[in-house]
Structure 1
Amino acid sequence: MIGEDAKTLLLVEDDPIIAIAEKKALKTYGYNVITAGSGEKAVNAVNSDPEISLILMDIDLGSGIDGTEATARILTYHEIPIVFLSSHSEREIVEKTEHITSYGYVVKNSSITVLDASIKMAFKLFNAFVKEREKEAALRKNEEMMRNSESFAHICSYSTNLVETDIDKSAWVCSPNFYNVFGIDETYPHTIAGWSAFLHPDFRESTFAYHERVIRERSSFDLEYNIIRINDGAERWVHGTGKLEFDAQGNPIRMHGAIQDITERKEVEEALMRTKRLLSESEQIGKVGGWELNIDTGEQTWTEETYRIHEVELDFNLSLEKSGSFYTEKSRPILENVLNRAIEYKEPFDEELEIITAKGNHRHVHAIGKTDLENRRILGFIQDITYRKSVEKEIKRQLSEKETLLKEVHHRMKNNITSIEGLLLMQADNIMNPEAKNSLKIAISRVQGVRVLYEKLLVDQQYEQVSIKSYIEELLSSILSVFPEYQSLCIEKDIADVNLNSNKAVFIGIIINELITNIFKHAFHGETDKHIHITFAHADEKTILIIRDDGIGFSRRYFRRRCPVSA
């Protein structure tokens, strides 16, 4: 009876009668048997039937290729156990088959029990071969993966002989990527002297000293050091690790470990250190420190300058209560409010606050922060603005002194001008000559123009700007007070309410004074029922002043005399 999982055998036999007998016998042992009468047919059968598990091969196969040739052709493309089944028992024939395959040789007419045992042994040998081949394939794959990983990670392995003390004898072995890391090849001397040659001179003595200490203390090797690649002279950083192996007496005999090229990592670390130093120095120069607050836990992180601003050590135990205690009673509720609003409404804040440092120094700080709810934090910076505040206070003090002094100067000048005005008025009252009296009045009105301006500057306490509308109106009142006979005049005013520089206002006052007194003298001739219209406008850095009157004007004869026209 043949089971569903019966193995299929290919019986290669050129004698049909023998083939039938052997096929029948093998079927009784549960094998599924197919036959081939020649070497060529055997090759074709294996190529076309993947179910064949084992071949029983006769050697003499008639006029075609013999069994050994057929076996060689089959094994070229297929891995399959082949057992020779032949009537030959000569030594040279048996040895010839052993060079082709080694799964067994059975002499014909042996019992079916012997043949079955040989077939089973061939299957065991073949299965063992397949497993071994799979192990070797897996090992080769692992080795390839290890080589690729070592190459990708710039890492290699080594093993050193600690017993060998001759520096010129071979003392270490390594993985292939070791040669890439150190810039050497397989011909490089694997000696203590060879190892010493690629250590950087600045690290050679300390590295060997550390190696000796590891052996003496029976500890593990773990060190970062500098090497010089042999092929290109490049300086590289490596990280070496190692573990000791001991003999039966407990003496260290070998060290096995790994070495990784960490140059890129060290360059990144150095760049980060430079950036950190620059940031720290910049913070210290600008007195600006960073901070971060975890919304959920209250955990805080400060940069070095923030610690310096608060005058505490870097190991200061931060907490919300402790950091909040630095702020004054006036500033603490302000800080609490902005932090609460930052959490609740995601509002950024920008406040100037006051703190008292751990050493009791009073400082002004500028705190700016924003919320990062995605990462559940508030972050920002704090700047020590104590010096700026003291400078601002000093500037305000000096400005106050300057304003006080300037006010006193203006006051004294106004008093002096008033005294001059009073003397001129007294002189005018004592003069009987109308012509002289009028000249003095004109002089008095000019003085009044300056006095009115100083009064405006003192009253408004703005020593650079003056309201031109108010100034002109008071100036006109002062002029009329000197010329009381024109008090009943109708003066229409259209004056823009703008502020002008006091220097410009002085000249405008002088012009208005000259024009108005000129109108009194030449246009009205004592008539008091006349009109004067004053227009003042200022826009785009341009000033327009227009003064019109309804006096007698100029005769045509005057214009002809002033502006003659040729015939």
Structure 2
Amino acid sequence: MTIIADKSILLVEDEAILALYEKNQLEQGGYKVTHVSNGENAIQLMKNNESPFDLILMDIDLGKGLDGTETATHILNHKEIPIVFLSSHTEREIVKKTESITSYGYVVKNSGFTVLDASIKMAFKLFEANELTKSKKEHLETVLHSIGDGVIATDRDGKVIRINPVAEKLTGWTHEEGVGLGINDVFNIINVKTRKKVENPVEIVLKTNSVVALANHTVLISKNGSEFQISDSGSPIKDLNGDTKGVVLVFRDITAEYNVQSQIAKQANMLDNVLDAVIGTDFTQKITYWNKAAEKIFVWKSEEVIGENILNVLKTNFQMLSNQQVIEKVNLEGSFIGEAIQQAKDGSFRNIEINLVLLNDESDLPIGYIFVARDISDRLEAINQIKESEAKLTQIIDSAMDAIISIDKSKKIVLFNGAAEKMFGYESTNIIGKPLDQLIPENFRSQHDKHIDHFGKTGVSRRAMGALGQIRGLRSNNDEFPIEASISQISVNGESLYTVILRDVSVRTLSESKIQKLLHEKENVLKEIHHRVKNNMSSLFTLLTLQAKSQENSSVQTILYEAAGRIKSMIVLYDKLYHSESVNGVTIQEYFPSICSEIVSIFPKKVDVNLDILDESIELNAKLLSSLGIILNELITNSMKHAFTEIQNPEIRLCITKIQNVLFLEYSDNGVGIPESVSIQNTPGFGLQLIGMLVDQIEGKIRIDRNHSPKFILELTI
């Protein structure tokens, strides 16, 4: 409310009497009044500011010099003050001229004090209202200039009418450059992922007449091409009637925040991919973070435990300390590493290795804890298994029949099992740490050292028993004895460790010597038996041959020759066995050529023998060869008896082939052929019956192939 007693008025009036009258009326009305008669004095008085005034009553006609409107213009350029014009003029153009200067009032002289007083009071109210509006405007301007967010205002057509300094910095457009431009020209935004243009919030506000927020991952592209991650909102500017007159767009640069959040997201993603459980809590142990590994190890889902006390969620028993002692230790020292048993959601227990760290803020004040937990149940089980394996290995080594000795790179003994104690006569406690040479006769030491050194350089990891040859050992009583050894090497922490397995072969060497002697004697006896059997059969063969030659009856003669042939096949076999290195076997390359020629030679008729035997050396046992020899004798005898009666150049053919493990013997001649009536299965002849029986005995198959050149084919699995 305006208080008149406090108001001081400067009256500018060139008419002295009129000025005195007006001054008197105003003072009676409670105003303090100062009078000057011209514009120049009024201007000087206002500049000196010796007597501050609240209002000026300005006469328009001031005589010589400046008139009232010119004076008012000068004063208003110096100071903002309400001016009410006094004039006897009522012309429209004069009134309008004053309104272009100031609009606090225009009073026609002689209108009376009531009109003048009302005009003055109205001028005071208008001035106070303008000052308040101006103050608010200045405040808003200050806010717009000092606010940390960018602000852009538009009219109802989306044209820019205001850009604050932060918006100038982010968009790259100054207020002067941007005013009048379309919002899309100044505020250019895209999606950071798709790089496609995003609909401008101003356009959305104008369409919906409501407040809108910008979508996430929005980038503002500045006039110079710089990019800023931003968040914003758009609000309609409405008049008193609720009609939208424009839009105010408020946005801020969140690039640093976005980068931090992205980094946090990456770190969270990394923590979700680690195998260890990572759990974050506040200073009261309430869970604030729970990664994927924690879910897997403890079965609890993140959403189930966030906000819960970790000691209530995971029942934890440390090995040496209580939970409270662990927390106190962390608060004092900053961290704790130890092992504990924790119970999961399903009631099962986990052996956990825990790294607990105190988390401080930027002021080094504690704000929480980080728990890094690793499930070591499998590791502890593996360690127990290793210990069990080591115990079993120790038992195996100690119970081994052979001596087991390990030496280091300096050839000093580091392991000496029970069998080694018995073999060499030393207790392990007395020999551990001693050089290996103590167990080797002096004349063998140099050679043995060279063996080990060479073995270490070759990089070979093991050698079979006996690879070191027959070496000698030295017992504690200085007795030497023969031993057989194998050696292996492993690398432990980069250093070679050699293990020698030794076997006392004293008894075996003596036994082997006796066995070799017995075998040699047996071999000689066997050869002598072969020789005597061969000689006896040769005598039988000779007698049968002589008897056959002395017979005039051809049938009897043929029977005797067949019998001689059967014996001849046995003679050939025993002869080969006698000369063979193998006591019980002969190769087909040695046997079949000999038996064919020997059997053919029994008969008077001269017949060529054509042999085609595979190159692969195949040794068959004597029993099998004996049967094959008799079968071949019968086939050759049949050819000699029946095939060549009218043939000028008789020939017998034998082809032996092999496919995988099946041996094929193909027998044929160039004689008159095999009659259709002849078969292995149905024949009255003794020879073919014998062949069939022998083929069954050796589990073979025989057939007659009459296509092209007739032949007998024998299949035998070997």
2:163 to 165, 171, 176: 176
Structure 1: give runs of 5+ residues left out of the alignment: 162-169, 247-251, 419-450, 467-567
Counterpart of 1:9 in structure 2 is 9
Counterpart of 2:339 in structure 1 is 352
Counterpart of 1:382 in structure 2 is 373
* Whole-angstrom CA distance in 2 between matches of 1:237 and 1:191: 18
Counterpart of 2:257 in structure 1 is 265
* Whole-angstrom CA distance in 2 between matches of 1:280 and 1:360: 24
Work out whether residues 235 and 247 of structure 2, in 8 Å CA contact, stay in contact via their aligned partners in 1.
yes
1:238-282 Cα deviation digits (max 9, x unpaired): 445457899xxxxx999876555543332222111112222333x
Counterpart of 2:387 in structure 1 is 396
Work out whether residues 338 and 349 of structure 1, in 8 Å CA contact, stay in contact via their aligned partners in 2.
no
- Provide the secondary structure at the position in 2 that maps to 1:390: helix
Name which of structure 1's ranges 264-273 and 140-149 shifts more when overlaid on structure 2: 140-149
1:186-215 Cα deviation digits (max 9, x unpaired): 38973889999956793659969xx99x98
Which amino acid in 2 is paired with 1:127? Answer: K
Which amino acid in 1 is paired with 2:422? Answer: N
- Give matches, 1:206-355, under 5 Å: 223-227=215-219, 229=221, 231-234=223-226, 236-239=228-231, 241=233, 258-281=250-273, 283-284=274-275, 287-290=276-279, 292=281, 295=284, 302-317=290-305, 323-324=313-314, 332=317, 334=319, 337-342=321-326, 350-355=337-342
Counterpart of 1:416 in structure 2 is 423
- Give matches, 1:92-171, under 5 Å: 100-104=101-105, 110=110, 114-146=112-144, 148-149=146-147, 152-153=148-149, 155-156=150-151
- Provide the secondary structure at the position in 2 that maps to 1:9: strand
- What is the CA-CA distance between 1:79 and the residue it aligns to? 3.0
- What is the CA-CA distance between 1:339 and the residue it aligns to? 0.6
- What is the CA-CA distance between 1:393 and the residue it aligns to? 2.8
Change (3 A) 1:309 1:201: closer
* Whole-angstrom CA distance in 1 between matches of 2:282 and 2:13: 90
Counterpart of 1:50 in structure 2 is 51
Change (3 A) 1:144 1:4: closer
- Provide the secondary structure at the position in 2 that maps to 1:202: coil
* Whole-angstrom CA distance in 1 between matches of 2:246 and 2:69: 51
- What is the CA-CA distance between 1:142 and the residue it aligns to? 0.9
Work out whether residues 280 and 371 of structure 2, in 8 Å CA contact, stay in contact via their aligned partners in 1.
yes
- Provide the secondary structure at the position in 1 that maps to 2:120: helix
- Provide the secondary structure at the position in 2 that maps to 1:128: helix
- Provide the secondary structure at the position in 1 that maps to 2:391: helix
**1:456 aligned to 2:429?**
yes
Work out whether residues 189 and 218 of structure 2, in 8 Å CA contact, stay in contact via their aligned partners in 1.
no
**1:32 aligned to 2:32?**
yes
Change (3 A) 1:175 1:358: same
- Provide the secondary structure at the position in 1 that maps to 2:257: helix
- Provide the secondary structure at the position in 1 that maps to 2:178: coil
Which amino acid in 2 is paired with 1:176? Answer: I
* Whole-angstrom CA distance in 1 between matches of 2:71 and 2:245: 55
- What is the CA-CA distance between 1:21 and the residue it aligns to? 4.3
Work out whether residues 224 and 240 of structure 1, in 8 Å CA contact, stay in contact via their aligned partners in 2.
no
Which amino acid in 1 is paired with 2:351? Answer: H
Which amino acid in 2 is paired with 1:289? Answer: V
- Provide the secondary structure at the position in 1 that maps to 2:215: strand
Change (3 A) 1:160 1:402: farther
Work out whether residues 369 and 380 of structure 1, in 8 Å CA contact, stay in contact via their aligned partners in 2.
yes
Change (3 A) 1:64 1:243: closer
* Whole-angstrom CA distance in 2 between matches of 1:235 and 1:88: 64
- Provide the secondary structure at the position in 2 that maps to 1:79: coil
Work out whether residues 182 and 198 of structure 1, in 8 Å CA contact, stay in contact via their aligned partners in 2.
no
Which amino acid in 1 is paired with 2:297? Answer: I
1:414-465 Cα deviation digits (max 9, x unpaired): 43344xxxxxxxxxxxxxxxxxxxxxxxxxxxxxxxx4xx45347xxxx449
- What is the CA-CA distance between 1:29 and the residue it aligns to? 3.1
Change (3 A) 1:310 1:156: same
- Give matches, 1:411-450, under 5 Å: 411-418=418-425
Work out whether residues 104 and 118 of structure 1, in 8 Å CA contact, stay in contact via their aligned partners in 2.
no
- What is the CA-CA distance between 1:139 and the residue it aligns to? 2.2
Change (3 A) 1:386 1:190: same
- What is the CA-CA distance between 1:121 and the residue it aligns to? 0.4
Which amino acid in 1 is paired with 2:136? Answer: A
- What is the CA-CA distance between 1:375 and the residue it aligns to? 5.3
- Provide the secondary structure at the position in 2 that maps to 1:121: helix
Work out whether residues 199 and 227 of structure 1, in 8 Å CA contact, stay in contact via their aligned partners in 2.
yes
Work out whether residues 188 and 221 of structure 2, in 8 Å CA contact, stay in contact via their aligned partners in 1.
no
Name which of structure 1's ranges 355-364 and 20-29 shifts more when overlaid on structure 2: 355-364
Counterpart of 1:428 in structure 2 is none
- What is the CA-CA distance between 1:289 and the residue it aligns to? 3.3
* Whole-angstrom CA distance in 1 between matches of 2:76 and 2:211: 55
Work out whether residues 196 and 204 of structure 1, in 8 Å CA contact, stay in contact via their aligned partners in 2.
no
Work out whether residues 243 and 257 of structure 1, in 8 Å CA contact, stay in contact via their aligned partners in 2.
yes
- What is the CA-CA distance between 1:180 and the residue it aligns to? 5.9
Which amino acid in 2 is paired with 1:366? Answer: E
Which amino acid in 2 is paired with 1:277? Answer: N
- What is the CA-CA distance between 1:124 and the residue it aligns to? 1.4
Change (3 A) 1:8 1:372: closer
* Whole-angstrom CA distance in 1 between matches of 2:82 and 2:192: 59
- What is the CA-CA distance between 1:376 and the residue it aligns to? 8.4
Identity of aligned residues (%): 23
- Provide the secondary structure at the position in 2 that maps to 1:393: helix
Change (3 A) 1:341 1:293: farther
Counterpart of 2:665 in structure 1 is none
* Whole-angstrom CA distance in 2 between matches of 1:359 and 1:277: 26
Change (3 A) 1:379 1:62: closer
* Whole-angstrom CA distance in 1 between matches of 2:185 and 2:62: 66
* Whole-angstrom CA distance in 2 between matches of 1:107 and 1:187: 43
Counterpart of 2:80 in structure 1 is 79
Name which of structure 1's ranges 69-78 and 3-12 shifts more when overlaid on structure 2: 3-12
* Whole-angstrom CA distance in 2 between matches of 1:59 and 1:222: 58
- Give matches, 1:184-195, under 5 Å: 186=178, 190=182
* Whole-angstrom CA distance in 2 between matches of 1:13 and 1:293: 80
- Give matches, 1:351-370, under 5 Å: 351-355=338-342, 357=344, 363-369=350-356
Aligned length in residues = 398
Change (3 A) 1:375 1:68: closer
* Whole-angstrom CA distance in 2 between matches of 1:22 and 1:192: 61
Structure 2: give runs of 5+ residues left out of the alignment: 239-243, 405-415, 436-718
Counterpart of 1:446 in structure 2 is none
Work out whether residues 153 and 163 of structure 2, in 8 Å CA contact, stay in contact via their aligned partners in 1.
no
Which amino acid in 2 is paired with 1:27? Answer: E
- Provide the secondary structure at the position in 1 that maps to 2:55: strand
Change (3 A) 1:362 1:12: closer
Q: Which one scores higher on RCO, CA 8 angstroms, separation ≥ 6?
A: 1
* Whole-angstrom CA distance in 2 between matches of 1:243 and 1:381: 47
* Whole-angstrom CA distance in 2 between matches of 1:64 and 1:24: 26
